[in-house]
Amino acid sequence: MSATLQNLVNQPYKHGFVTSIESDVAPKGLNADTIRMISAKKKEPEWLLEFRLKSYEAWLKMEEPTWPNVHYPKIDFQEISYYSAPKQKPKLKSMDEVDPELLRTFEKLGVPLHERMALAGVAVDVIFDSVSVATTYKDKLAEVGIIFCSMSEAVQDHPELVQKYLGTVIPSTDNFYAALNSAVFTDGSFCYIPKGVKCPMDLSTYFRINTEESGQFERTLIVAEEGASVSYLEGCTAPAFSSNQLHAAVVELVALDNADIKYSTVQNWYAGDEKGVGGIYNFVTKRGLAKGVNSRISWTQVETGSAITWKYPSCVLLGDNSVGEFYSVAVTNHYQQADTGTKMIHIGKNTRSTIVSKGISAGHSNNSYRGLVKVAPSATGARNYSQCDSMLVGHHSGAHTFPYIQVANNCSQVEHEASTSKIGEDQLFYFAQRGIDAEAAVSMIINGFCKDVFQQLPMEFAVEATALLSFKLEGSVG
Amino acid sequence: MIYPDSKIVLEVRGLCASVNGTEILKGLDLTVRRGEVHAIMGPNGSGKSTFSKILAGHSAYEVTGGTVMFEGQNLFDMEPEERARAGVFLAFQYPIEIPGVINSQFLRLTYNTVQTHRDKEELDPLEFDDYVREKMKLLEMSPDFLERSVNEGFSGGEKKRNEILQMAMLDPRLAILDETDSGLDIDALRIVANGVNQLAGKDNAIVMVTHYQRLLNYIVPDYVHVMEAGRIIKTGDKELALELEARGYDWVGAECKAASEAAA
């Protein structure tokens, strides 16, 4: 049983190839001039350069956070290149103009870009290193007034919207990595759903880091106007390098009255090898502002990759009766470390939040859930339900839970449930005795464990997530 | 039932095995033919449960000597899942709980996996639902069993019924029932035993491991074996079980010892 599993786990990282495309890479290092260079290259308006420089000033005064339950050597921020763009023709009118090498990369990644896209009915904005390569389905979305484009395009074409919302959910001084991102972000996605529009398809972005020693700092902003709704999917991969790459993204969501934003992530950044060498440092700040009454922000994440994950997709429930949701599966194997969870900040009356977190730790990995439920004095009648389950695989992994609950009124209800379980030899033996091999058994146990989260994912993502999890964990049992 | 010239299902010769370096089985011999029902009895620690787990292939036990042939094949050449697909079934003494995995899905996966390996047709969820509900009637199980997590929160009796349900589905050549009577009240015992009896036929064989005679009132064995210190020291028919119930195990060991001394 162990031998076959050993082979399976030793399969190389599927997305670990490098595409040989000439990149336009900035010299390593960060100072005000680097930021001016980025801003100039992107032909940005003055206010955005100011936003960046102010963020940079703030960042200089900030300290790297040390409170997460993760350990890594100090990052030298002067050793990172802050801009890397594939060199190609400046404007693309159709997919035919895209560098064929780039398209082959996406094919290898299994990104269903052109025809397959149509069948899948998904609009994809592809981010390669830091620049958005092509946005599909833009025209079709434009018909109903939806803006879905790269952040760079949005800055050029819809500066008033970007200026109105950028940094309003996550101020540039929010934390160390958010400040860094605000200073140097190069691209990302922008999505605007006008009043009363239900987005007719799932919107999707695919991120990939291609260059060694380049950081990826993408910036995503989604705004749903009154009564609008959108489901947004994000997938991430990176090639295998022996050095660590930094990924410090910022995602801001704004939901106005009766609006609904659902944000789903399947994160499969390169996690380093089985000895813990290489891999992505995934230090991400994601927050949604449920600004209007009856608005809803829902985060679903399946985190399987990255050497280190540090992220807490959060909801600020400002509008009365607004709803925040967080559904998470975090899997760590080998020497991966994850410190992830959420914050639910209840401010409006009768606000409700749900947290369902499933952590799976295998190998020598460490998996922490960290969550804050905060109920302000104004949030009368607020309700929260949290459920944090951990599953251990093998004998060397760790699971930790750090729940913080702060309630400042006496008419709210907060519930927290937690459990820890283990995939044991005896469970696998039971399956084997019924003819089921270890691989299928682990897959079934994990799916059972994660089903509360998987059923929140859009169909295609749920299938992908299931396969990804089985793949990640094969060989760690038995 | 004993049939003349029936094929051998299981042939165990001189089986020795240990767990964590402690020798548990010390030269066990046993021959089981199709159609037969065997009971293995013996005091705690005599190696009965070890024997059943070794047949199923539990990795915690190390086989240190002897041979086991199953339907003419070396059992130890087969992985645990291969043994199951070939028709070795173990009804567990303590069926393990698998939280989150829905019983109906688990049952269908095991059924279809085994069917595929026997070159038989798989069933889709609807067909399987009909199939399993029919089998459940045999064990007087309520349909809500199907919607619960595998064995999670099941009472002792429910767990054992779930085991025999799987036996009914998988149609094994050799069924090993490891203390299936433990933890059962009298009604559950009757239901479970009734299920087993309906499954027993001339093409399969049953080996029951048990402490107590009471199970044998319901499932009548063709052979009763007494195990002590890792070996079968006495074999008889169902009358032997009654004698054990009345007199305990000590006399068998003493008799056996006297016989071997006389021989020396």
Report yes or no: A307 and A281 within 8 Å, Cβ to Cβ.
Answer: yes
Output the pLDDT for position A122.
45
pLDDT tens digit sequence for A388-431: 999 988 788 899 999 999 999 999 999 999 988 888 888 999 99
Mutation site for B-interface testing, chosen from A2, A329, A430, A442 by largest number of B Cβ within 10 Å: A430
User: What is the arrangement of strands in the sheet containing A229-237, beginning at the earlier edge strand?
Assistant: A131-135, A123-128, A203-208, A229-237, A260-268, A296-303, A323-332, A352-361, A383-393, A413-423
Q: How far apart are CA B92 and CA B227, in angstroms?
A: 19
Q: What is the pLDDT of residues A347-393, one digit of tens each?
A: 999 999 999 999 999 888 989 999 999 999 999 999 999 999 999 88
Q: What is the pLDDT of residue A169?
A: 95
Give residue A79's pLDDT.
82
Residue A93 scores a pLDDT above 70: no
Pick from B196, B256, B242, B227: nearest CA to B28: B227
Query: How many alpha carbons lie under 13 Å from residue B256 in its C-beta half-sphere?
Result: 14
Does the distance separating the beta carbons of B170 and A429 come in below 8 Å? no
> Choosing among A2, A431, A447, which should be mutated to test the B contact, i.e. which has the most B CBs within 10 A?
A431
**pLDDT at residue B111 in the model:** 97
Ordered by start, the domain boundaries in chain B are 8-94+172-263
Chain A residues within an 8 Å CB radius of B60: 425
Rounded average pLDDT over B48-56 = 95
pLDDT (0 to 100) of residue B192:
93
pLDDT average, residue stretch A210-237:
81
Closest CA to A47 of A229, A55, B74: A55
- Give me the pLDDT at residue A135, please: 53
Q: Is the CB of residue A391 less than 8 Å away from at least one CB of chain B?
A: no
Question: pLDDT band at residue A118, thresholds of 50, 70 and 90?
Answer: very low
Mean pLDDT for A461-475 is 71
Beta carbons of A435 and B113 less than 8 Å apart: yes
pLDDT value of residue A204: 76
Nearest to B100 among A434, A436, A448 (CB): A448
A2: closest chain B residue by CA? B59
Of A17-31, A137-151, A197-211, B36-50, the range with the lowest mean pLDDT is: A17-31
**What is the arrangement of strands in the sheet containing B223-228, beginning at the earlier edge strand?**
B88-91, B174-178, B205-209, B37-41, B223-228, B231-236
| pLDDT the model gives residue A20 | 53
Q: Dihedral (C-alpha) B141, B143, B145, B146: value to the nearest 10 degrees?
A: 130
Q: So what's the pLDDT on residue A28?
A: 78
Query: Can you tell me the distance from the alpha carbon of A454 to that of A457, in angstroms, rounded to the nearest whole number?
Result: 5
Average pLDDT, chain A: 81
Partner residue opposite B166 with nearest CB, options A425, A434, A447: A434
Whether the per-residue pLDDT at A121 is higher than 60: the answer is no
CB pairs under 8 A between A and B: 75
Interface check for A249 against chain B (CB to CB < 8 A): the answer is no
Neighbour-count burial of A228, counting CB atoms closer than 10 A to its CB (0-12 exposed, 13-18 middle, 19+ buried): buried
> Which pLDDT belongs to residue A378?
97
Q: Quick one: pLDDT at residue A104?
A: 58
pLDDT over 90 (residue B56): yes
Distance from CA of A446 to the nearest CA of B (A): 8
pTM of the complete model: 0.78
Confidence band for A307, pLDDT divided at 50, 70 and 90: confident
pLDDT at residue B221 is higher than 70: yes
Q: Are A288 and A169 in contact (CB under 8 A)?
A: yes
What distance in Å separates residue B119's CA from the closest CA in chain A?
A: 14
Q: Which residue would you say has higher pLDDT here, A383 or A121?
A: A383
Q: Computed from CA positions of residues A258, A259, A264, A265, in that sequence, does the dihedral angle turn out positive or negative?
A: negative
Per-residue pLDDT at A189: 87
Nearest to A434 among B59, B60, B110 (CB): B110
* C-alpha distance from A477 to closest chain B C-alpha (Å): 13
Which of the residues B55, B88, B106, B176 would you substitute to probe the A interface, choosing the one with the greatest number of A C-beta atoms within 10 Å?
B106
Structure tokens at B170: 């998988």
What is the band of A133 on the pLDDT scale with cuts at 50, 70, 90?
very low
Share above pLDDT 70 across residues of chain B, in percent, rounded to a whole number: 100
Flag whether pLDDT at B121 surpasses 90: yes
Q: Helix/strand/coil (H, E, C) string of chain B?
A: CCCCCCCEEEEEEEEEEEECCEEEEEEEEEEEECCCEEEEECCCCCCHHHHHHHHHCCCCEEEEEEEEEECCEEHHHCCHHHHHHHCEEEECCCCCCEEEEEHHHHHHHHHHHHHHHCCCCCCCHHHHHHHHHHHHHHCCCCHHHHHCEECCCCCHHHHHHHHHHHHHHHCCCEEEEECCCCCCCHHHHHHHHHHHHHHCCCCCEEEEECCCCHHHHHCCCCEEEEEECCEEEEEECHHHHHHHHHHCCHHHHHHHHHHHHHHC
Q: What is the pLDDT of residue A78?
A: 85
Residues of A in contact with B85 (CB under 8 A): 435
The answer to whether the beta carbons of residues B233 and B227 sit under 8 Å apart is yes
Q: Three-class SS of residue A452?
A: helix
For the segment A185-208, the average pLDDT, to the nearest whole number, is: 84
How many residues appear in chain A?
478
d(CA A452, CA A434): 26
Instruction: For chain B, say whether A454 makes contact (Cβ under 8 Å).
Output: no
Q: Which residue of B has its CA nearest to A426?
A: B96
- Residue A150 or residue A290, greater confidence: A290
Report residue A420 as tokens: 């820890």
Instruction: Compute the distance between CA of residue A233 and CA of residue A152 in angstroms, rounded to an integer.
Output: 20
| Site of tokens 């994912």 | A457
Residue A391 tokens, joined = 């599953």
- Contact by Cβ (8 Å): B48, B231: no
- Asked whether the beta carbons of A300 and A264 are under 8 A apart, the reply is yes
Find chain B residues with C-beta within 8 A of A427's C-beta: 96, 98
Answer yes or no: are the C-beta atoms of A247 and A215 closer than 8 Å. yes
CATH number belonging to domain B8-94+172-263: 3.40.50.300
Interface of A with B in 397-426 (CB under 8 A): 421, 424-426
Q: Is the pLDDT of residue A83 over 90?
A: no
Model pLDDT for residues A138-153, shown as the tens digit of each residue: 677 888 999 988 888 8
pLDDT above 70 coverage of chain A, percent: 78
pLDDT band at A247 (very low <50, low <70, confident <90, very high): confident
Q: How many CA atoms lie within 13 A of A437 on its CB side?
A: 14
Which of B55, B81, B171 would you mutate first to test chain A, the one with the most A CBs within 10 A? B81
Q: Do residues A363 and A394 lie in contact, with contact meaning Cβ atoms separated by under 8 Å?
A: yes
B239 CA: distance to closest CA in chain A (Å): 33
Cα gap A302→A235, rounded to integer Å: 10
Q: Is the pLDDT of residue A127 over 70?
A: no
Is residue B159 within 8 A of residue B145, CB to CB? The reply is: no
* Minimal CA separation from B23 to chain A, in Å: 21
Q: Please state the rounded mean pLDDT for residues A151-158.
A: 92
